[in-house]
Structure 1
């Protein structure tokens, strides 16, 4: 029933006004595909152009506001956001598929980003003095202009806030596009934030990725694009943005390797970290472990212990407190992972070990549920090793020496994250210098708990710069002032 839909359903935001659309797409609960959680508006090209125009007009005044004013408004937004977090947790679970624990963490991180942003801005914005005895030279910063932020469906909350908040804090205006498979919670939360700012500072357009993306990339008034999503879509954005030479921040796909060295401690704590590294958010994380390379001497022990860890997993509706892994988010991804699993199982010598248990047998086929799997006997050339599977299935391959492990880990077009598992930290550092990834973890494979930190991927996994200031650097232009 539409009466049960969130009030944001079917709407979009331009210049402080919420509009309703007659062209709509249903948002489905991946744990119960019969349930329609809400609707998303399918904006027209004219809607998108109007949103960009509104952002461009608002930029003229917003870019000239003081850091103090921007920071004060953002702190007010954080207060308003914190009030509505609890009531949005269940909505996020229902449209995304995460567990209650995962959903709450994501939403609370958004409050943290919003609250801490102003403190970072104060120190970061200071003028840098490069003067010497011959000339006075300063490095100053200014906002770039209208910024397009395009979010993915897998982790839309944190990944959106890590871009929208620094963009607005640094004096830019934003046109935001959420993913059509998971738009409602992020729109609910941004509604509270946007209401604190002048009209046009934050605008929200929804609908077709191709239509909205193409328009944002080609519109001359858009000066920067911050995108999180697939590598293929990222390549399209690069091509479409080339004509107007936009500034790009692209967090793209990953095929993260984990290397288990001969001296690795395979105790309960480390095996649990490995399980979470693979199966967090049902494996639908660009920086999840996608390939595991284990030294021959540890291989059998490792597979046995990882399977035991996977057996602990309870797959079901994320609303149930006993669930430890929810469903795949959408039908297309569900089909992709299942078909990949079936093709892999047909390869010579391959064994697919499926583990875990179903929360509820009766409702299993009502959602996009998958039990987690470990693949053994697979070759480096196999499709499941080469692709970003983005689901709860991981190949485990043996290696004989360090050189082979490094070559196998680097044998990919991706380079987002990696991990090295050893009791020797110095050896871990030596390996990290040779692994082609934007960040390498030692005895863990997780996220950066300090939300200020950002490290781009290498190769086809991204395009941006590392920062200690929560992304502030990307959203500004530096210029020299000299006399």
Structure 2
């Protein structure tokens, strides 16, 4: 971990294991509350000088960091696959998205320009985006690199300084990026810690000099962040996961390309993606044809260690997540659900030591089944049928989540009408993935999926405080006043 510009050792080591093999990948420093205090102090000391550089100069630093990440892309991707579990091709794509998101953030300098509200002979009024100050960023284990880069790029361009905490089970690659950044950024601008959220994350959130918390993770932990921040009224950006529905209308084109897109949106990273398709609603008129083709594709997914080039899907990231997926499938089985493929661990060959679970498709569940109502965060998807648009919108919206949703149809006006009725922060038509989300498009959820937005100008502005500046130009004092 890095505090200021110094690499630090913790009070103990934090072992990080390969979820595909159980092998030790490396050890991270175990931070404590004193490390949190020092990191926040370093960030606070650096913040005013960092802000004074101006957005254009800060953008240059972001470009330099993006290039340095690109230079080490293969090293970072390999380490990331070993500690997180996803196939190497997905890890390489995520490292590339780190570079791309840092470079994109650097291009947002014009979004920080002052906005004129009034300019005449009597007064001048404009809006300015000012830095928040010290920002704590808490990252999850499923995609810490891309999420970290989105948060980091926006915060640094805005003039904030950062203390970043990745999930302890997948922290090594982000800590390595922090070390790279330490040689390029002014001391204290980015500080990286490692350790359990219940200790390090809690101390960060409650620290009086942390003015903003950007958190990605589960709903329960997001609620804890809100509660811990309430006394000091900190700014918050919370991305708390989703239970995204995909609605397949009766006119959908069930081509190989479309089915491949839906499969990827459902099973990428073994379903451990906040915006993955978590439940599929299929019009009853095409259900049999869809199931025949979709299930056959799912059966062909090659499961194996992420370092194996032939693997299309890796393991679950940890034993707890594997056990949760198993429990949801067993509950579905008890409720009378039909498992069309999968439904078991994969324990043979190269998968015998890891947290592997077969890609699974289940039908015959009611809407109140936990697998339908909850975020499974694994390679299991329920398929449900519907008769008409009003019915499926009502059922899709019957969820505490509201991150993403998708409508699959050839009828664009009908699809847009349904999109407007879905309670979700992002709605795709004939797609469902970050790969089809423009970098300038803000991303975030409604309802239990969180607060605020990330990405694009709107995501950048989350890391600023809006200040109104008023300048009287005439001699007037105000009603009842005298010059």
- Cα-to-partner distance string for 1:150-192 (whole Å, 9 max, x where unaligned): 0000001100000012111211110000101100111112221
What residue number does 2:5 align with? 16
Distance 1:32 1:283, change over 3 A: same
- Mean Cα displacement is larger for which, 172-181 or 128-137? 128-137
C-alpha distance in 2, partners of 1:358/1:215? 38
Pairing 1:370–2:365 present: no
Match of 2:399 among 391, 406, 412: 412
What residue number does 2:15 align with? 26
Once the 2 structures are TM-superposed, how far is the Cα of residue 468 of structure 1 from its aligned partner? 3.2
CA RMSD of aligned residues (A): 1.7
Task: Answer yes or no: is the 8 Å Cα contact 1:93–1:103 preserved in 2.
Answer: yes
Match of 1:38 among 13, 22, 26: 26
Once the 2 structures are TM-superposed, how far is the Cα of residue 211 of structure 1 from its aligned partner? 1.1
Once the 2 structures are TM-superposed, how far is the Cα of residue 25 of structure 1 from its aligned partner? 2.2
What residue number does 1:6 align with? none
C-alpha distance in 1, partners of 2:366/2:344? 28
What residue number does 2:476 align with? none
Distance 1:71 1:468, change over 3 A: closer
- Cα-to-partner distance string for 1:310-355 (whole Å, 9 max, x where unaligned): 022000011111111111111111111112112211223x111225
What residue number does 1:475 align with? 463
What residue number does 1:241 align with? 229
- Cα-to-partner distance string for 1:25-62 (whole Å, 9 max, x where unaligned): 211101101x1001122211111111111111111221
What residue number does 2:142 align with? 154
What residue number does 2:388 align with? 401
Task: Answer yes or no: is the 8 Å Cα contact 2:137–2:214 preserved in 1.
Answer: yes
What residue number does 2:479 align with? none
Distance 1:414 1:360, change over 3 A: closer
Task: Answer yes or no: is the 8 Å Cα contact 1:323–1:359 preserved in 2.
Answer: no
Task: Answer yes or no: is the 8 Å Cα contact 2:2–2:178 preserved in 1.
Answer: no
Distance 1:13 1:20, change over 3 A: same
Runs of 5+ unmatched residues, structure 2: 472-483
Once the 2 structures are TM-superposed, how far is the Cα of residue 358 of structure 1 from its aligned partner? 10
Task: Answer yes or no: is the 8 Å Cα contact 1:142–1:478 preserved in 2.
Answer: yes
C-alpha distance in 2, partners of 1:380/1:337? 18
Pairing 1:335–2:306 present: no
Task: Answer yes or no: is the 8 Å Cα contact 1:147–1:167 preserved in 2.
Answer: yes
Distance 1:278 1:467, change over 3 A: closer
Task: Answer yes or no: is the 8 Å Cα contact 1:81–1:189 preserved in 2.
Answer: yes
What residue number does 1:9 align with? none
Pairing 1:361–2:348 present: yes
Task: Answer yes or no: is the 8 Å Cα contact 2:46–2:189 preserved in 1.
Answer: yes
Aligned length: 469
Task: Answer yes or no: is the 8 Å Cα contact 1:314–1:357 preserved in 2.
Answer: no
Pairing 1:74–2:74 present: no
Once the 2 structures are TM-superposed, how far is the Cα of residue 69 of structure 1 from its aligned partner? 2.3
What residue number does 1:287 align with? 275
- Mean Cα displacement is larger for which, 208-217 or 229-238? 208-217
Match of 2:106 among 90, 114, 118: 118
- Cα-to-partner distance string for 1:366-394 (whole Å, 9 max, x where unaligned): 11111101011111011110110000000
C-alpha distance in 1, partners of 2:379/2:307? 19
C-alpha distance in 2, partners of 1:110/1:66? 23
TM-score, normalised with respect to structure 1: 0.94
C-alpha distance in 2, partners of 1:203/1:340? 39
Task: Answer yes or no: is the 8 Å Cα contact 1:255–1:414 preserved in 2.
Answer: yes
Task: Answer yes or no: is the 8 Å Cα contact 1:413–1:460 preserved in 2.
Answer: yes
- Cα-to-partner distance string for 1:386-425 (whole Å, 9 max, x where unaligned): 1100000000011121111011100000000000011100
Task: Answer yes or no: is the 8 Å Cα contact 1:312–1:356 preserved in 2.
Answer: no
Distance 1:115 1:384, change over 3 A: same
Pairing 1:276–2:264 present: yes
Distance 1:117 1:224, change over 3 A: same
Task: Answer yes or no: is the 8 Å Cα contact 2:338–2:363 preserved in 1.
Answer: yes
What residue number does 1:266 align with? 254
Corresponding residue SS for 2:8: strand
Pairing 1:163–2:146 present: no
What residue number does 2:477 align with? none
Task: Answer yes or no: is the 8 Å Cα contact 1:16–1:200 preserved in 2.
Answer: yes
C-alpha distance in 1, partners of 2:273/2:174? 18
Match of 2:366 among 379, 386, 396: 379
- Cα-to-partner distance string for 1:263-318 (whole Å, 9 max, x where unaligned): 11111111111111110111000100001111111111111111011022000011
Distance 1:336 1:321, change over 3 A: same
Task: Answer yes or no: is the 8 Å Cα contact 2:20–2:353 preserved in 1.
Answer: yes
> What are the equivalent positions in structure 2 for 1:398-477 lying under 5 Å apart?
398-447=385-434, 448-465=436-453, 468-469=456-457, 471-477=459-465
Runs of 5+ unmatched residues, structure 1: 1-11
